[in-house]
Amino acid sequence: MVATTSSQITLLDNLPILRLIARLDIKGSNLIKGVHLEGLRVVGDPQVHAAKYYAEGADEIIYMDTVASLYGRNNLIDVVSRATEHVFVPMTVGGGIRSVEDARTLLRAGADKVAINTAAIKNPTLIKELSDVWGSSTIVLSIEAKRVSDKKWEAYTDNGRERTGLDAVEWAQKGAAQGAGEIFVTSVDQEGTKKGFDCELVAEICRAVDVPVVASGGFGSLQHLNDLVTASRPTGVAFADALHYDKFSLKQIRQFCIDSNIPTRQAVSGAEVYK
């Protein structure tokens, strides 16, 4: 347990309830993981891992097709439809969504939300098109950000491979204004390193938008989670490496939140029980 000062406790008491999210990066039919979104290695069967995280009390599951934009297709329809048989928490699906029809197909397969990145940057009106059909709460803007200088980050596409020239914080603002109901921000610099979140990046985006923000990339210790929530106000945190390799369980992470006065939900045997 991390010791907290009285001023820190006050801050944590004012935080939104933090969602603990299991992130599964998918390539083909496999769950994969890398560092800086590169050097991807096969971890196992995404269905097995998703069922495990659901049983441990994950608040949500997010699936990201890591090569969908590169190859111009989305391979997650079967993964999502199979997951609905044994996972009963909200599922977000991202990767290769280029149109209203692409989103409709995934939502019909069982997704609760769709995340868009590359296609939204190429065509920002897509965000509004999607939110007009299903509502902003269904549309997540995924941002892969790399630090370029002090307090400056650039948005990338294609799994952190392609530069866009867009300021990541400004892009988050524009996306929210277009109708994105949530921002999912991944620090490419920190992703897979286990060296901690880019707390400054998350804080800047949280200050810039009035929609929920989910942080991803860098978790390696419980102290990292404490650092993140004391520096910013995310409404969710996504975990991947630490879960896939059994370094931490969602039960351990949730208990740490409770012990550290970080507002969170309580989940028992895969069913949410709200405090």
Q: Which are the catalytic amino acids?
A: 25, 144
CA-wise closest residue to 242 among 224, 264, 219, 265: 219
Give the contacts of 212 (CB within 8 A, at least 6 positions apart).
Answer: 16, 181, 182, 183, 235, 236
Contact in structure between 52 and 78 (CB atoms under 8 Å): no
Q: Specify the length of the chain in residues.
A: 275
Q: What stretches of the chain adopt beta strand conformation (E)?
A: 19-27, 30-35, 38-44, 60-65, 91-94, 113-116, 139-149, 152-157, 162-167, 182-187, 213-216, 236-239, 266-268, 271-273
Give the burial class of 150: count Cβ atoms within 10 A of its Cβ; 0-12 exposed, 13-18 middle, 19 or more buried.
Answer: exposed
Q: How far apart are CA 100 and CA 126, in angstroms?
A: 8
Q: How far apart are CA 118 and CA 62, in angstroms?
A: 17
Give the contacts of 150 (CB within 8 A, at least 6 positions apart).
Answer: none
CA-wise closest residue to 195 among 215, 224, 170, 175: 224
Contact in structure between 260 and 43 (CB atoms under 8 Å): no
